[in-house]
């Protein structure tokens, strides 16, 4: 079992979870354990956890064994000691794996050594970065090398940005005709315990927004031509607007979804000659009181992030400056259990036989991707199923290795079917002709 042209089946492990003792990593390790006991992989998956501390990694396996009622995990799963600051240890890890699930962030600081080790040693890797500068920087630096080695480096394979990226493709595949534009709306619900995101995500946002100039330079260096606009041009909404669809206020979604979807559409257009889809992403925020709070917090954040002392303050006091939405401890298990998300897609296009360059769109479609807690449960499910797709759907991957978005890597695979079976559900809400 190996990725196309990549790691040999003779390696000790098919999946290695690097950073398994981190906050997100232990959710990923638990999900691998759950999947390894499931129908498709029952008893056949060879996997390991990797990180700096044997004791902490063992604790992760002990916790997963207890939660899943599988005491055999403690002895069946391998442990690899390695450190992101030690290239030789990363190389040793990569040589033992077909696919590495890299959970060590922020990726702009710790991601590249893992990508480098994997590419040089013929190992595919998956990450859950929502940091466009890292994702696109890895494309610029390692795409050709990964192609030579026949390995797949697939970024943004968590909640950022599998629901959005695969959701657009699902919407396209369920429209009778040509899909030309999609808007998505994210709604996140929390239970009576509220919710607090671990501050690793907060740190990534701080450094990402502080470094926008370098992201623009990087994109100029990559030198992609603008994607052609097919069909009626998608109108952008305001910074704050009232959504008639949801009867509440909404704002542009600040994550990596738009940039990831655009990269996927570019690949599908340039390499597979498919019609590119325009895309915009929004998030619902509630009533006017929520909008006022968000605007105040946002203005303060954007002001502080421009200066080093401001970034230090934001990093040191995440709960204070995020209004409790982020914390150094992260969410409790009760908060996670009470949380869920729904991403609703509104697509429009042209019926079969109609020229998309002529007239207004004539068909519409509404789809949805929904699932459990976005930050940790859905992210773990998405990441693990991306890894399984690399292992199981090798013949459906792009013909050559490279640095890919999820949609580019997995558009022809069974990833959506796998996600549906593991709690991230894709469905068609409605279809109509104008």
Question: How far is residue 311's CA from residue 12's CA, in Å, rounded to a whole number?
Answer: 43
CB of 263 within 8 A of CB of 411?
no
Question: pLDDT tens, 233-289?
Answer: 999 999 999 999 999 999 999 889 999 999 999 999 999 999 999 999 999 998 888
Task: Please say if the pLDDT value at position 215 is more than 80.
Answer: yes
Strand partners, 390: none
Q: DSSP state, 12?
A: S
Helix (H) or strand (E) holding 271: helix 257-272
Helices and strands counted in the chain (H then E): 18, 16
Report the mean per-residue pLDDT for the chain: 91
- Label residue 196 by pLDDT band (50, 70, 90): confident
Which whole-number Å values give the CA distances from 22 to 51, 102, 180, 386, in the listed order?
Answer: 9, 11, 40, 20
CB of 85 within 8 A of CB of 77?
no
CB of 283 within 8 A of CB of 294?
no
pTM: 0.92
- Label residue 10 by pLDDT band (50, 70, 90): confident
Strand partners, 161: 158
- Label residue 135 by pLDDT band (50, 70, 90): very high
* Coarse DSSP helix, strand, coil percentages of the chain, rounded to the nearest 5 percent: 45, 20, 35
Question: How far is residue 383's CA from residue 198's CA, in Å, rounded to a whole number?
Answer: 18
CB of 79 within 8 A of CB of 53?
no
Task: Decide: residue 223, CB within 10 A, 0-12 exposed, 13-18 middle, 19+ buried.
Answer: exposed
Q: DSSP state, 11?
A: S
Question: pLDDT tens, 395-407?
Answer: 999 999 999 999 9
Task: Please say if the pLDDT value at position 423 is more than 70.
Answer: yes
Question: How far is residue 243's CA from residue 251's CA, in Å, rounded to a whole number?
Answer: 9
Question: How far is residue 188's CA from residue 340's CA, in Å, rounded to a whole number?
Answer: 6
pLDDT value of position 433: 65
Question: How far is residue 409's CA from residue 161's CA, in Å, rounded to a whole number?
Answer: 13
pLDDT value of position 38: 80
Residue of 154, 73, 77 whose CA lies nearest to 111: 154
pLDDT value of position 394: 94
């Amino acid at each position: 079992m190996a990725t196309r042209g990549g790691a040999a089946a003779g390696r000790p492990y098919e999946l290695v979870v690097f950073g398994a003792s981190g906050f997100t990593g232990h959710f990923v390790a638990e999900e691998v354990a759950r999947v390894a006991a499931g129908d498709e992989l029952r008893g056949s998956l060879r996997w390991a956890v990797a990180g700096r501390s044997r004791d902490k990694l063992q604790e992760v396996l002990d916790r997963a064994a207890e939660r899943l009622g599988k005491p055999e995990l403690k002895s069946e799963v391998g442990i690899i000691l390695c450190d992101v600051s030690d290239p030789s240890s990363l190389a040793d890890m990569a040589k033992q794996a077909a696919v590495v699930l890299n959970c060590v962030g922020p990726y702009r600081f710790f991601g590249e050594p893992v990508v480098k080790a994997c590419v040089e040693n013929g190992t595919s890797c998956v990450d859950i970065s929502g940091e466009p500068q890292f994702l696109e920087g890895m494309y610029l630096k390692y795409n050709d090398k990964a192609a030579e080695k026949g390995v797949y480096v697939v970024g943004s394979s968590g909640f950022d940005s599998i629901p959005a990226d695969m959701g657009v493709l699902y919407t396209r595949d369920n429209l009778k005709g040509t899909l030309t534009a999609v808007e998505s709306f994210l709604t996140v619900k929390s239970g009576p315990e509220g919710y607090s995101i671990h501050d690793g995500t907060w740190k990534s946002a701080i450094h990402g927004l502080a470094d926008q100039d370098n992201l623009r330079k990087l994109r100029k260096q990559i030198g992609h031509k603008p994607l052609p606009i097919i069909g009626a041009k998608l109108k952008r909404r305001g910074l704050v607007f009232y959504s008639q669809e949801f009867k509440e206020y909404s704002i542009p979604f600040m994550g990596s979804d738009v940039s990831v979807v655009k990269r996927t559409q570019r690949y599908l257009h340039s390499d597979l000659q498919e019609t590119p889809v325009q895309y915009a992403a929004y998030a619902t925020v509630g009533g006017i009181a929520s909008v006022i709070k968000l605007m105040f917090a946002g203005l303060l954040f954007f002001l502080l992030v421009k200066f080093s002392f401001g970034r230090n303050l934001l990093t040191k006091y995440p709960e204070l400056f995020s209004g409790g939405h982020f914390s150094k401890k992260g969410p409790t298990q009760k908060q996670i259990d009470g949380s869920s998300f729904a991403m609703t897609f509104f697509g429009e296009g042209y019926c079969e036989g109609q020229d998309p360059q002529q007239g207004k769109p004539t068909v519409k479609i509404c789809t949805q991707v929904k699932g459990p807690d976005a930050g940790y449960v859905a992210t773990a499910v998405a990441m693990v199923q991306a890894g399984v797709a690399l292992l199981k759907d090798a013949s459906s991957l792009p013909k050559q290795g490279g640095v890919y978005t999820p949609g580019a890597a997995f558009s022809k695979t069974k990833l959506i079917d796998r996600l549906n079976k593991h709690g991230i559900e894709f469905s068609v809400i409605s279809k109509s002709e104008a």
